[in-house]
Amino acid sequence: MMDRRPFVAGLLADRGDLLVVTGLGSSTYDVAACGDHPLNFYLWSAMGTTAMVGLGLALARADRRVAVITGDGDTLMGLGSLATIGVKQPNNLSIVVLDNRHYSATGMQPSHTAAGIDLAGTAESCRFRRVERVTALDSAPAMRALLHTGQGPIFIHAKVEADDQKRIIPSRDGYAIKQRFVQASA
């Protein structure tokens, strides 16, 4: 298991024009801890939809790289999105799941991954071109390279510690987040 915050920082180091969509809770806090960025699209109260927002963005902006950074709870709630991504085969989309085996946002109840549900295996069966299982922080540079140059769809299943880190909370103003993102990604 690894500390998710330095792993996310490693993924986003020298990010360039990478478009980043974050899921509810911890993944948003981790991305915001790397520094607020106009190309971060924070989703609030949208559990289960993060991968689909990323897919829509990847299809609409085939000229840009898109990284979804989310948690196991959000991914479990939207499992069907993995099948849709597998069918659509967007070559510019990466899904990074920070799997702490808990529903952090609602009180740390064990998620289905704690009972053995294999998200990486699910992505493989949904025909993701590349699936990576990550448990060590030193893999961050290689995963970062995949986000920028890998042939997608890519699924990175990162096993992280179940801890409660300081919450770095970016804007919750959905309209302002959208406007800023649209302007920065034009």
Q: Which of 63, 93, 76 is nearest to 156 (CA)?
A: 93
Considering the entire predicted model, what is its pTM? 0.92
Give me the pLDDT at residue 1, please.
82
Give me the pLDDT at residue 107, please.
65
d(CA 134, CA 109): 23
Tell me 165's DSSP state. P
Read off the pLDDT of residues 97-142 as tens digits, 9 standing for 90 and up.
Answer: 999 887 776 766 777 777 888 999 999 999 999 999 999 999 999 9
Interaxial angle between packed helices 79-88 and 50-60, expressed in degrees from 0 to 180 and rounded to the nearest 10 = 20
Query: Which two tokens mark 163?
Result: 């801890």
Burial of 124 (0-12, 13-18, 19+ CB in 10 A): middle
Q: What is the mean pLDDT of each run of 10 residues along the chain (186 residues)?
A: 93 96 90 94 85 97 97 92 98 96 71 85 97 96 96 96 77 86 89
Tell me the CA end-to-end span of the chain in Å, nearest whole number: 38
CA distances from 30 to 38, 71, 150 (A): 15, 11, 23
